[in-house]
Amino acid sequence: MFFASKSFIADKDVKIHVVAENVIGLQVPSKGGGLYLREDIFAPAVWIENDFLVLDVFHQTDDVMVIILKFHQRDSKFISVHYGILPNVKTRLCFPLAALNGEQLFLDRYPSVLQCVLRGDPSIDRTMISGLTITTIESIRGRKFELSNIHVRKDVPDFPVEVHPYIDKFGQLLERDWPEKMKTETEVTSYLQQQLEIVKKEDTEIGQFGGWKKLQFAATGFFRTEYDGENWWFVDPEGYALFSTGMDCVQPYDEMRISGMEQLISWLPEKDGEYHDAWSKNGYSYTVSNMIRTFGESWWEKWATLTETRLHNWKFNTIGNWSQQKFIHKAKLPYVYPLANFPTTEKKIYRDFPDVFSMEYEDNAKEFANQLLPLKDDKWLVGYFLRNEPHWAFVDQLNLTETMLQQPYPFVSKKRFVDWLMERYDSITELNTAWTSHYSSFADLLDVEKIQLSHSSNEKADINAFNRMLIQRYVEIPAGYCKKADPNHLNLGMRYAWVENDDILQGCEAFDVFSINSYSMKPNRAHIEYISKKLHRPVMIGEFHFGAADAGLLAYGIRALATQEERGNAYRYYVEQAAVIPELIGVHYFQYQDQPALGRFDGENYQIGFVNVCQKPYDQFIKHVTEAHENIYFIRTGEKEPNTIEVKQIPKTGF
């Protein structure tokens, strides 16, 4: 079924016109907007009888455009999917309607499409869809674009493949120019060779393990934490105080995804030739091929020497998450370690949340902890992260117990919930009275066909209480085994994307440090203070970043500025504001280099790096970074005032 132009109504201030049959032209103001399906032509059976919503998008603006498909349910629930669309490339979107069950946060990428992310409620019922909107987010100058071929169908469509060379052999955009752009091989190789002459600057105020020599506590030979009555600190193996300034993803493999993007690539070498090191199972690294082009077989040693010198000179004191282990072993810098393969179960309650009361979860947690055994005596290791940004925690107001009860699978956790209720209520009659329900036995609660939630206050209280028990066990089981395997190093938590309510904090006393990723213009002091006081633990920020629109890439990240100079001011403001928060003991930046122009494995392609694909640093940005790092300890101890000037953002291109 096709949705013709007359099927839609535009938002206020959005201009719509018919370009041709089944082609809609839109002009959207900078504040964003779009159109929605008219209710009078809407047929609910459309979403039941078909499996995919398909539409083509084309725009000619200067940067990535984010298109949002938002499905509305009659009870005000919704799910939206955000797509990144390249300029000047006709892109076919194909949304699988089965994804409205909410089980996937990131969807598979089809040709030419960048990242695809789900937002909204835990799930919606396709039989209850009441509408569809197609919109775009706020932008710098507004948008002109075309939507066409909007229809639903049973099968996956064919995808248009138009050859359109988009990047050069160095991995840079072809259709864009900027002052730092490298034009020739000689320019690339001469620059990189000259950069190797940079000398590492020593700092006599900093100890062997990165700590500040002007403040010392008891030394234990490993990293630990300490509260001195005013501030929390990391304490390095020599006993020196450390406020951790970390750099995530320190590695040469930027790994642009090739599959589905072949028609946009102007140069790719053979996989088994001179540039074989640049290939991996996840894609191709133009950073690596640029280094090979310059240094041949010794490319990695040269990259590692250059990168280590830069991190020291920019006054970073920690190698952050997802950094290359080979580089970590070479560099003389403390590091954090992301554990792999967080324990799970074959059947999950929602997204990546496992059946936490099962022996399968317990056994997998034991095995998970064993990866710490080879690291337990490493003095350079600050601590480990159990995992990163649990997908289940992206849904606000998610109740895992309620979700579990509405699934037919006989989870062990579901049986544990019923046993727990039987301990609380002497009989099913007593439970029915409390819940305002009509179950004939406790066994009815194990039968999805017999579950009828009354949403009474007592029922909600019990379901919420067990929800907290699920989350507590999710945290405490693997944390406990990890501490047994490695008592020497700090458990740095799970790097939550955000903390929507106190339930998320259940069991987090098992961490030594609570980590959170905080993409904002400055850390949320009240939020950090609240978490720290509730858990009696310090807090660290595992990710933040800023991008800018003047550096030759099409997307500027989750927080964006107009120029590299403003980007540097934003970094300094963020870090110096972080330094005055007593409960906060570190901020780690995401990430070392820009993401690939045509997207990494999941489609992100942000200008957020300290260096570009040719390994050239953003000097205007970095001068402010270094200044912030030089100020941290003086700000934290009250000898200097932090930067208080917040830089004005531009609209983001984050997906």
Q: Are residues 136 and 240 in the same domain?
A: no
238 φ/ψ angles, rounded to the nearest 5 degrees: -90, -5
pLDDT digits (tens, 9 = 90+) for 259-290: 999 999 999 999 999 999 999 988 999 999 99
pLDDT of residue 40: 83
Asked if the model's pLDDT at residue 2 lies above 90, the reply is no
Strand spans (E) along 277-386 = 279-280, 283-284, 318-319, 335-338, 348-350, 353-354, 381-385
298 φ/ψ angles, rounded to the nearest 5 degrees: -90, 20
Domain boundary among 153, 170, 198: 153
Please report, for residues 18, 28, 36, 333, 359, the alpha-carbon distance to residue 10 in angstroms, rounded to integers and kept in the order given.
Answer: 12, 10, 6, 55, 54
Q: Give me 160's structure tokens.
A: 């248009």
Asked if the model's pLDDT at residue 584 lies above 90, the reply is yes
Q: Which residues contact 97 (CB under 8 A, 6 or more apart)?
A: 47, 50, 51, 52, 53, 126, 152
Stretch 589-599: mean pLDDT: 97
Percent residues over pLDDT 90 in the chain: 93
Q: Give me 217's structure tokens.
A: 């506590």
Q: Are residues 210 and 316 in the same domain?
A: yes
pLDDT of residue 291: 98
Q: Mapped to the 3 state alphabet, what secondary structure does 18-67 carry?
A: EEECCEEEEEECCCCEEEEECHHHCCCHHHHHCCEEEEEEEECCCCCEEE
What residues make up the domain containing 45?
5-153
Give the global pTM: 0.96
Q: How far apart are the C-alpha atoms of 636 and 576, rounded to whole Å?
A: 9
Find the range with the poorest average confidence among 33-47, 75-89, 111-125: 33-47
In 393-445, where does DSSP find H-type helix? 400-405, 412-424, 428-435
Q: Are residues 220 and 318 in the same domain?
A: yes
Cβ count within 10 A of residue 590: 23
Percent residues over pLDDT 70 in the chain: 100
Cβ count within 10 A of residue 230: 10
Q: How far apart are the C-alpha atoms of 382 and 378, rounded to whole Å?
A: 9
Asked if the model's pLDDT at residue 1 lies above 80, the reply is no
Stretch 49-73: mean pLDDT: 95
Please report, for residues 208, 243, 525, the alpha-carbon distance to residue 204 in angstroms, rounded to integers and kept in the order given.
Answer: 10, 17, 32
Q: Which residues contact 184 (CB under 8 A, 6 or more apart)?
A: none
Please give the residue that has the higher pLDDT: either 21 or 386: 386
Stretch 133-150: mean pLDDT: 95
Residue 552 lies in a domain: yes
Q: What is the DSSP letter of 200?
A: P
Residue 593 lies in a domain: yes
Residue 352 lies in a domain: no
Q: Which residues contact 526 (CB under 8 A, 6 or more apart)?
A: none
Please report, for residues 124, 223, 397, 612, the alpha-carbon distance to residue 400 in angstroms, rounded to integers and kept in the order given.
Answer: 16, 36, 10, 42
Q: What is the DSSP letter of 646?
A: P
Give the burial class of 141: count Cβ atoms within 10 A of its Cβ; 0-12 exposed, 13-18 middle, 19 or more buried: exposed
pLDDT of residue 44: 84
Is residue 251 reached through a cis peptide bond, with omega within 30 degrees of 0 on the bond before it? no
Q: Give me 97's structure tokens.
A: 């309607």
Q: How far apart are the C-alpha atoms of 86 and 57, rounded to whole Å?
A: 10
Q: What is the DSSP letter of 13?
A: T
Stretch 313-342: mean pLDDT: 97
Cβ count within 10 A of residue 449: 7
Domain count of the chain? 2
* Model confidence band, residue 22 (pLDDT cutoffs 50, 70, 90): confident
| CATH code at position 54 | 2.60.120.430
* Model confidence band, residue 654 (pLDDT cutoffs 50, 70, 90): confident
Q: Are residues 210 and 323 in the same domain?
A: yes
Domain boundary among 133, 153, 173: 153
Find the range with the poorest average confidence among 38-47, 70-79, 462-471, 600-609: 38-47
Q: What is the DSSP letter of 254?
A: -
pLDDT of residue 489: 98
Q: β-strands 348-350, 353-354: how paired?
A: antiparallel
Residue 591 lies in a domain: yes
| CATH code at position 618 | 3.20.20.80
Q: How far apart are the C-alpha atoms of 532 and 337, rounded to whole Å?
A: 22
182 φ/ψ angles, rounded to the nearest 5 degrees: -85, 130
Please report, for residues 266, 289, 303, 441, the alpha-carbon distance to residue 269 in angstroms, rounded to integers and kept in the order given.
Answer: 10, 9, 21, 67
pLDDT digits (tens, 9 = 90+) for 483-534: 999 999 999 999 999 999 999 999 999 999 999 999 999 999 999 999 999 9
Share the mean pLDDT of the chain: 96
Instruction: Residue 579: name the closest of 623, 610, 541, 531 by CA.
Output: 541
Q: Are residues 630 and 557 in the same domain?
A: yes
Stretch 37-66: mean pLDDT: 92
Q: What is the DSSP letter of 154?
A: S
pLDDT digits (tens, 9 = 90+) for 171-226: 999 989 998 899 999 999 999 999 999 999 999 999 999 999 999 999 999 999 99
Q: Give me 642's structure tokens.
A: 């932090």
Q: Are residues 147 and 75 in the same domain?
A: yes
Q: How far apart are the C-alpha atoms of 252 and 609, rounded to whole Å?
A: 12
Q: Are residues 249 and 133 in the same domain?
A: no
CB 652 within 8 Å of CB 604? no
Q: Are residues 502 and 613 in the same domain?
A: yes
Q: Are residues 632 and 499 in the same domain?
A: yes
Find the range with the poorest average confidence among 1-5, 137-141, 422-426, 511-515: 1-5
Residue 455 lies in a domain: no
CB 66 within 8 Å of CB 116? no
- Amino acid, res. 577: Q
Residue 460 lies in a domain: no
pLDDT of residue 624: 98
Cβ count within 10 A of residue 481: 20
Q: How far apart are the C-alpha atoms of 611 and 458, rounded to whole Å?
A: 56
Q: Are residues 523 and 600 in the same domain?
A: yes
Residue 180 lies in a domain: no
pLDDT digits (tens, 9 = 90+) for 355-411: 999 999 999 999 999 999 999 999 999 999 999 999 999 999 899 999 999 999 999
Q: Are residues 504 and 628 in the same domain?
A: yes
CB 210 within 8 Å of CB 317? yes
pLDDT of residue 529: 98
Q: Which residues contact 397 (CB under 8 A, 6 or more apart)?
A: 121, 500
Q: Which residues contact 481 (CB under 8 A, 6 or more apart)?
A: 365, 366, 368, 369
Q: How far apart are the C-alpha atoms of 145 and 16, rounded to whole Å?
A: 10
Q: Give me 561's structure tokens.
A: 């500025």
Q: What is the DSSP letter of 548?
A: E
Q: Which residues contact 433 (CB under 8 A, 6 or more apart)?
A: none
Q: Which residues are registered as beta bridge partners of 226? A: 233
pLDDT of residue 4: 83
CB 222 within 8 Å of CB 332? no
pLDDT digits (tens, 9 = 90+) for 439-477: 999 999 999 999 999 999 999 999 999 999 999 999 999
Q: Are residues 631 and 500 in the same domain?
A: yes
Q: How far apart are the C-alpha atoms of 65 and 90, rounded to whole Å?
A: 12
Asked if the model's pLDDT at residue 5 lies above 90, the reply is no
Domain boundary among 132, 153, 174: 153
Q: How far apart are the C-alpha atoms of 380 and 232, rounded to whole Å?
A: 20
Residue 649 lies in a domain: no
Q: How far apart are the C-alpha atoms of 66 and 55, rounded to whole Å?
A: 14
Cβ count within 10 A of residue 279: 21
